[in-house]
Amino acid sequence: MLIINVKSDESIDRALKRYKRKFKQTKLLREIRRRKHFIKPSVERRNEVLNASYRQEMYGDA
């Protein structure tokens, strides 16, 4: 659970902005979306290899 301590002289908007930044840094939403659908380990591995080959092709020679 995220806890944001709001200082006495701090506005709610500023505290909300800190909360959103902290939430984004935890990558919780990304994990929730990833777990929504099951992906077989073989398919996951194949996607990793394809992405790696794509990155190698695009940025390997640079």
Distance separating alpha carbons of residues 61 and 55, to the nearest angstrom: 10
Displacement of CA 27 from its chain's centroid (Å) = 4
pLDDT at residue 2, as a whole number: 85
Quick one: pLDDT band at residue 35, thresholds 50, 70, 90?
Answer: very high
Question: Is it the case that residue 59 has pLDDT exceeding 70?
Answer: yes
Of 6, 31, 32, whose CA–CA distance to 18 is shortest? 6
Q: Where are the domains of the chain?
A: 12-59
| Eight-state DSSP code of residue 39 | -
Take residue 29 and report the two structure tokens written for it: 């939403």
| 35 Cβ contact partners less than 8 Å away, ≥ 6 residues apart | none
